[in-house]
Amino acid sequence: MNVSLNDARQLLESQLAPLDEHVARLESELAEVTESRNRMRAALTALAGTPDKAKSRTDRPNIDANLLVQLFEQFLRDNGSLSVADLDGLVRAKAKELGYSLAGYGPCKKSALNNPQFEKDAESRVTLRQPSCGLRPEVA
């Protein structure tokens, strides 16, 4: 039996079409089942009262550079000159204690340390040059 190359290609393509249709049906069914499963998991989570990560993040306000300036000032006034690492640890702990999220902390920290009331020496120690008018009541 001598089958031409063109005939073989057509035969294979005709057999492939039903397989493609079957795969499409199965993928659609899988998407529906996956969506149902996700809805059920979300309902179970809601019933259990367990907050998901996205919700718990939005419950706290993000730290900002102005608050960091005030916290830096507070710790430098209380402790004198501090290394950047020590100041960082104190401020992070205080911000968490006050209920702030540390999302965006890095850029805010850099901005706050560039405030003219702080001086950073070659040994990465920060000193308070000039205190501001005082802290906001919620920081004290």
Rg (CA), the chain: 31
Assess whether pLDDT exceeds 60 at residue 107. yes
pLDDT digits (tens, 9 = 90+) for 69-103: 999 999 999 999 999 999 999 999 999 999 999 98
Of residues 18 and 56, more confidently modeled: 18
- Judge if 101 and 46 occupy the same domain: no
Domain that holds residue 108: 65-128
- Judge if 28 and 82 occupy the same domain: no
Q: Is residue 135 a part of any domain in this protein? A: no
Q: Is residue 43 a part of any domain in this protein? A: yes
Give CA–CA dist 3/84, Å, rounded: 80
Looking at the structure of the chain, the number of domains it has is: 2
